Amino acid sequence: MREEQGLAVAGLRCEVEGSEILKGIDLRVEAGRVHALMGPNGSGKTTLALALSGHPNYHITAGSVTLDGENLLALSPDRRAKAGLFLSFQYPAAIPGVKVANFLYAARQAVRPGDLTPAKFRALLVERMEALGMDASFLGRYLNDGFSGGEKKRLEMLQMAVLAPRYAILDETDSGLDVDALKQIGESIASSRGKNDPVGLLVITHYPRILRYVKPDVVHVMLDGRIVKTGDAELANVIERSGYDAIRAETGAVA
C-alpha cells in the first residue's frame, strides 16, 4: 500500500468550547482493515469521530487528516462524505416526515450520482435488509421516528451499505443492543471486509463484545484525549479481563 493511502490522522488536537479534548492523536486506518478504538466515557473517542466528520463545534487546533492523500480538513462535511468518509452516529437523529426509502435514495445519489438504476438500488436495499433482519416495512417509515435503539443501529448499517464508503467510523454502534441484534450488526460490519472494495473501519466502543463478531486487526486504547496503547485483538481481551485501570497504571494516563 502506498504511504498516502488510508485515513491518516497525525498530531490531531481539538478543542470543544475552549477545552482541549484531543491532545495529539496519531492513527492510520487502511482499506479493508478493522481498527478498534476503545476507552471509557470522557476519553475523547466521540470527539475524534465528530472532528473527523467536520462538526462545526469541534475546532481543530493542530495536526492533519488525509483520506487517501487528500486533505480532509480542507473539505466541508458534505464533501468529506462524498470523498468516502462515513460516520455512524451514537445517537442517530429522528426526522419525522422523511421516509427511509427516500432518504437512502437521496443519500446514495448525493455521493454516487446515477451509478445505480432504480431496480439495482432496490435490489441492494433488499439484500442488505435481509442480512440485517429488517422488514420491508422499514422503507415506508419516517427516519428513526419511533425506532427502538436496535432499529436505529440497523438503519445506520443499512446506510453504510447503501453509501459504500471507503472509510467508516462507527461510534458505539453496539450500545443498547440485545444479543441477537448485536450479532446481526456485527456480522454485517464484518461482511464489509469481503467486498471487492472493502471499507476501512474504525470501530469505537467501550466494551469488546462487538469485537467477537468483528475481529479487529488493531486495537487502540484512548485515555485523556490520547491513544496510550496499541496492540492486536488480544488487547481487547485484556481490557475485558482487567478493565482500563491496568492500562492506566501501565501508561500513567490520568483518566
Average pLDDT score over residue span 64-83: 96
- Specify the CATH number for the domain of residue 43: 3.40.50.300
Instruction: Judge whether 198 lies within some domain.
Output: yes
Instruction: Judge whether 157 lies within some domain.
Output: no
3-state secondary structure of 29: strand
pLDDT at 194: 62
- Determine the structural domain holding residue 223 and report its residue range: 7-91+165-251
3-state secondary structure of 67: strand
What is this structure's pTM? 0.90
With a cut of 80, say whether residue 78 has pLDDT above it.
Answer: yes
Instruction: Judge whether 117 lies within some domain.
Output: no
**What average pLDDT is seen over the chain?**
90
* Residue with cell string 435503539: 149
Cα end-to-end distance, the chain, whole Å: 35
Average pLDDT score over residue span 56-72: 97
- Distance between CA 175 and CA 90 in Å, rounded? 8
% of the chain at pLDDT higher than 90 = 60
Instruction: Judge whether 2 lies within some domain.
Output: no
Instruction: Judge whether 211 lies within some domain.
Output: yes
Selected residue with higher pLDDT from 231 and 149: 231
Instruction: Judge whether 205 lies within some domain.
Output: yes
Give the pLDDT band of residue 75 (cuts 50, 70, 90): very high
With a cut of 70, say whether residue 214 has pLDDT above it.
Answer: yes
DSSP E strands in the chain: the ranges are 7-16, 19-29, 34-38, 58-67, 70-71, 85-88, 95-99, 142-143, 167-171, 200-205, 218-223, 226-231
Instruction: Judge whether 155 lies within some domain.
Output: no
Amino acid identity of residue 215, one-letter, is: K
Instruction: Judge whether 146 lies within some domain.
Output: no
Structural domain count of the chain: 1
**1-12 per-position pLDDT tens digit:** 455 789 999 999
- Distance between CA 85 and CA 137 in Å, rounded? 28
Q: What is the dihedral of CA 210, 29, 251, 18, to 10 degrees?
A: -100
Average pLDDT score over residue span 64-84: 96
